[in-house]
Structure 1
Amino acid sequence: MKKRILVIMGHPGTQSFCASLADAYVQGATDAGHAVQRIDVRDLVFDPILHEGYRQIQALEPDLLAAQQALKEADHLVFIYPTWWGGMPALLKGFFDRVLLPGFAFKYRANSVWWDKYLTGKSAHVLTTMDTPPWYFRLFYRNPGNNQMRRTILEFCGIRPVRITCIGRVHSAPASWTARWLDKAAAFGRRA
């Protein structure tokens, strides 16, 4: 079944292995006939700081309004970013803070601890690179960034299932290793 896929690349740099992974994923998904849109968060013009929390919603910049529309239209979401200090880069976190707003992604119920999830019916795949071996990140650090992404961001808004692929140890990886991961990213896109 062909899907509408939104790829969100969250590495703030212009040259990165994450960008190459995103290129490979998009190519694989396009080759399989999926409709693919890509957002590179670094290219968006927006203030990533949520100045007043959710007490006062900041007006959304045009790039964030377009991102919300793309999120609404997508069947499958793909997030590609590096894990730094156990979590996502600040720019990507700022993107989530500003885009996944009450009334768009979720809504708290009056006089309740429960909330309504507005992004149901979508699936997600996270590809995150790291310099820590994934087994060490899982066993010793307990997957802090992955738990945040899966449980407190995506599933909180109703997106499920959420698949997470940790790619590490990137820092000292030989070219043959990175080439295999690019092939895997293209295969993920074809099978989305």
Structure 2
Amino acid sequence: MNANKILIINGHPDPQSYCRALSTSYAEGARKSGAAVKLIDLSEIEFNPNLRYGYRKRTELEPDLLQAQEFIRWADHLVFVYPTWWGTMPAVMKGFIDRIFLPGFAMRYRDNSPLWDKLLKGKSAHLIVTSDTPRLYNLLVYRQAGHRIMKSNILKFSGVSPVRVTEISPIRKSTETFRQKWLDKVKEMGVKQAR
């Protein structure tokens, strides 16, 4: 599925992270093929990641979150780049999702029904996830729990489909050659997605 409008969300809180470098590489590849690209870097935006009242009481969105919602509405394709920490995404990324993937934006519950409307239909996504856990171990032992939560419980629940996953591991003790190889691969993914 090709996309002309791509939003990249870097979910790593460190502005000097490898995830940031991966986000930049993907953006370069996509722009090279003519896509319009926007980038949200969670290390740079200001917001409270705590959905303090749950859905009982509205918490007003900060300007950066309002802009993030506009970027998501605009995009054909969403790219989430983040590390796996304790089996799932970093707290700042979970807080970002908690705060903006709200009823009325990502989904809408139906009155007197267990069903819901998926409000982000028509968009696709790609998860580029770094990890220290070897891929085979993550698959066989952990059953890719973090990937499944993001793919099914969040994105597909909101109507985003298909959702592709690229896992880059193990990162700890990886060589510069390994990291550069993946930067080049991710740039090519951006090129292909935009074609």
TM-score (norm 1): 0.98
Counterpart of 1:71 in structure 2 is 72
Conserved 8 A contact 1:102-1:108: yes
Length, aligned pairs only: 192
Counterpart of 2:21 in structure 1 is 20
Counterpart of 2:97 in structure 1 is 96
In 1, Cα distance between the equivalents of 2:88 and 2:27? 24
In 2, Cα distance between the equivalents of 1:84 and 1:158? 26
1:25 to partner: Cα distance:
0.3
Q: Deviations over 1:144-163 (max 9, x none)?
A: 11011000000000000000
SS of equivalent to 1:43: coil
Amino acid paired to 2:22 = L
Counterpart of 1:179 in structure 2 is 180
In 1, Cα distance between the equivalents of 2:36 and 2:115? 34
In 2, Cα distance between the equivalents of 1:131 and 1:138? 13
Aligned-pair Cα RMSD in Å: 0.8
Amino acid paired to 2:56 = R
SS of equivalent to 1:191: helix
SS of equivalent to 2:121: coil
In 1, Cα distance between the equivalents of 2:29 and 2:115? 39
Q: Name segments (4+ residues, structure 1) moved above 6 Å.
A: none
Counterpart of 2:141 in structure 1 is 140
Conserved 8 A contact 2:49-2:95: yes
1:2 to partner: Cα distance:
5.2
Distance 1:104 1:123, change over 3 A: same
SS of equivalent to 2:78: strand
In 2, Cα distance between the equivalents of 1:109 and 1:2? 31
In 1, Cα distance between the equivalents of 2:85 and 2:18? 14
In 2, Cα distance between the equivalents of 1:160 and 1:70? 17
In 2, Cα distance between the equivalents of 1:148 and 1:20? 24
1:14 to partner: Cα distance:
1.6
Counterpart of 1:191 in structure 2 is 192
In structure 2, runs of 5+ residues without a counterpart are none
Amino acid paired to 1:127 = I
In structure 1, runs of 5+ residues without a counterpart are none
In 1, Cα distance between the equivalents of 2:175 and 2:18? 12
SS of equivalent to 1:68: helix
In 1, Cα distance between the equivalents of 2:139 and 2:52? 33
Amino acid paired to 2:157 = F
Q: Deviations over 1:101-142 (max 9, x none)?
A: 100110111111110000000000000000001111111001
Amino acid paired to 2:138 = F
SS of equivalent to 2:8: strand
In 1, Cα distance between the equivalents of 2:152 and 2:28? 29
1:66 to partner: Cα distance:
0.3
